[in-house]
Structure 1
Amino acid sequence: MTTAQAIVLAVIEGLTEFLPVSSTGHMILGSALMGIGSEEFVKLYIVAIQLGAILSVVVLYFQRFFQSFQFYFKLLVAFVPAVVLGVLLSDKIDQLLENAMGVAIALLVGGVILLFTDKWFKNSGTGSTDEVTYLQALKIGLFQCLAMIPGTSRSAASIVGGMTQGLTRKAAAEFSFFLAVPTMFGATAKKLYDFYKDGYPLTGEEIKLLAIGNVVAFLVAILAIRSFITFLQKKGFVAFGWYRIVVGVIILAILLSGRSLQVI
C-alpha cells in the first residue's frame, strides 16, 4: 500500500465512520478497487485507523464525554454485547468481510430501513444521553452488534437502536459516537494482537502509514461529525438511505457483470 492509497482510505474512514453508511464496507470496497484488498497489512489498517476517527469524539465532546462514572458504566454495558459476540463469532466475521456480495446486500437492506426510520420514530423525545438507562444502553449495544455484518454500519445500527429506546435523532447519534470509543478501541487492540500473533510484525513503513492514516481520519472525522449532526437534525435519514441503495446497486451491477471485487 502506498502513502496515497493510505490517505484515500483514511479520508473514506473519516467521512463515513459516523455516518450511517458503513465505513468498513466503504473501506474494504475502496481497497478492492485500488487492488490492495488482499494485503495482510490492509486488513489491519482499515480497522486500526478507526481509532483516529473515534478520537475526534473525545476532542469534540470533551466536557460531556468526561461527565460522570455512571455514564462510563452505561457505555460499558452497551459495549459488552460486542465483546462477547466478537469473541464468539470472530472467524465467521472474518469470512463475511471477504464477501463483496454480502456488503452490497447489507447496504441495500440498511438503505431501505433508513428510508422509513424517520417515520417509524418520529415521536422519539428523549433529548439527552444522560437520561439513557442501563437497560436502554444494553439494548443499544445489542443493536450495535448487527454491524458485525460488513456493510450494515455500526453508526446506523446503534443510532436506530437508540431511537427504538425513545431517543431523539441527535441524542441517539451522540450516544452512538460515545459508544464508538470503547468499541473501536477494543477492535483495534484485538486486530493488532491478531496481526502480531499471526507472525506479521509491523515495519517502519507500515507504522508510518498507520500514523498518517490515523491523523487524516481524525481531522476528516471532526468535520464529518459537525456536518452530520446538523444535517441529521434538519433532514433526517432519507438521503443516507438512498445513498446506500445507490452504492449497493452499483456494487451488485459490477458483480453481476462478471467482474470480481476482491475484498479483504
Structure 2
Amino acid sequence: MNNLLEAILLGFIEGLTEFLPISSTGHLLIAENWLGRRSDLFNITIQAGAILAVTLVYRARLWHLATHLRERESRDYVIKLGCAFLITAVLGLTVKALGAELPETVAPIALALIIGGIAILLIERHVHRLPPRESVTWAVVVAVGVAQVVAGVFPGTSRSAAAIFAAMLAGLSARPRAAEFAFLVGIPVMFAASGHELLSTYFEPGAMQAEPWMELGVAFVVAAITGFVAVKWLLRYVSGHSFVPFAWYRILLGLLLLAVT
C-alpha cells in the first residue's frame, strides 16, 4: 500500500479510537502489524491531532473557563484540571524514567482489552445504582491523574477509558461530565507528550531527516477530523446510553487477538 494511504488509514484509526473506550494503541498496533511500525513521534503526534479535535469540540467551554476565572466555579474547575495534569505529568515522567512500561506487543494489549472490558461492565453495574453526580471533587482529580499514568504503563487500557471510569468510580457518576473532565485533562497531557517526543527527535542525530513529515502531517489532519466527528458522536451517545457495548467489543477483540497470536 502507498505510504501516504497508510498514513491516512492510521490517522483515521487514531481519530476514531482515541476517545472511544476501546484503546487507540491496541488498534494502531493491529494496523501496524500489517502496514509496518511507525516511529513514536508519528504515533504520539497523530494522537495530538485527535486531541486538537477535542479542543475544537470544547472550544466554547474552554473559552468560558478562560474568560470567567474570577468566578469561583470556573476558577475551581481550572485549578482541578491543572492539578490532574500535574499528577499525570509527574507520575508519568517518573514511570518513564524507571522504564516501568509493558511492551506494545499483542499479548499484553489483548489482556488489557479483556480486563478493561470486564472492569467497564463492573463499573457500569455499580454506577447504575448511583444518582447522577456532576461535582468534580479532589478524589476525582487524583483518580483521573493516576488513571492516565496506569493507562500509559499498560498499553491497550485506553487513556480515555481509564480517565472516564476512574472519574465515575471516584464519584463523578454523570457520564457526560466524567467524559468532559477526562477529555479536557487529556488536552495538555497529549500536547505535552507530543512536544516532549518532538524535542527528543530533534536532538537525536538523523531522526528529523528520517521522519516522513508529509505523511505525519496528513495523518495528523485526518486524525483531527475523524476525532472531531467521533467525540461529537460519543457525547451524544453517553447522554442517554451506557458504555456496556464498548466493554463487550473490547472483550471480543482481546479474545480474537489472543486466538490469532
TM-score by length of 1: 0.87
Report the counterpart of residue 59 of structure 1 in structure 2. Answer: 56
Q: Percent identity?
A: 35
Q: CA deviation at 1:93?
A: 5.7
Contact 2:113 2:254 in 1 (8 A): yes
Which stretch shifts more, 25-34 or 234-243?
25-34
Report the counterpart of residue 101 of structure 1 in structure 2. Answer: 107
Report the counterpart of residue 3 of structure 1 in structure 2. Answer: 4
1:165 equivalent in alignment to 2:162: no
TM-score by length of 2: 0.87
1:119 equivalent in alignment to 2:151: no
Q: CA deviation at 1:202?
A: 2.5
Aligned length: 248
Aligned CA-pair RMSD: 2.0
Rounded Cα–Cα distance in structure 1 between residues aligned with 2:107 and 2:41: 22
CA pair 214-117 structure 1, distance change in 2 beyond 3 A:
same
Contact 1:51 1:185 in 2 (8 A): yes
Rounded Cα–Cα distance in structure 2 between residues aligned with 1:241 and 1:195: 36
Gaps of 5+ in 1: 256-264
**Residue of 41, 44, 47 corresponding to 1:47:** 44
Q: CA deviation at 1:233?
A: 2.6
Rounded Cα–Cα distance in structure 1 between residues aligned with 2:104 and 2:22: 18
1:60 alignment partner AA: V
Contact 2:15 2:224 in 1 (8 A): yes
Report the counterpart of residue 140 of structure 2 in structure 1. Answer: 136
Which SS does the other structure have where 1:125 is aligned?
A: coil
CA pair 97-185 structure 1, distance change in 2 beyond 3 A:
farther
Contact 1:48 1:188 in 2 (8 A): yes
Rounded Cα–Cα distance in structure 2 between residues aligned with 1:200 and 1:93: 24
| 1:207-243 residue CA offsets vs partner (Å, 9 max, x unmatched) | 2112111110111011101111222233211100011
Q: CA deviation at 1:205?
A: 6.9
Runs of 4+ in structure 1 displaced over 3 angstroms?
Answer: 91-95
Gaps of 5+ in 2: 70-74
Report the counterpart of residue 15 of structure 2 in structure 1. Answer: 14
1:209 equivalent in alignment to 2:210: no
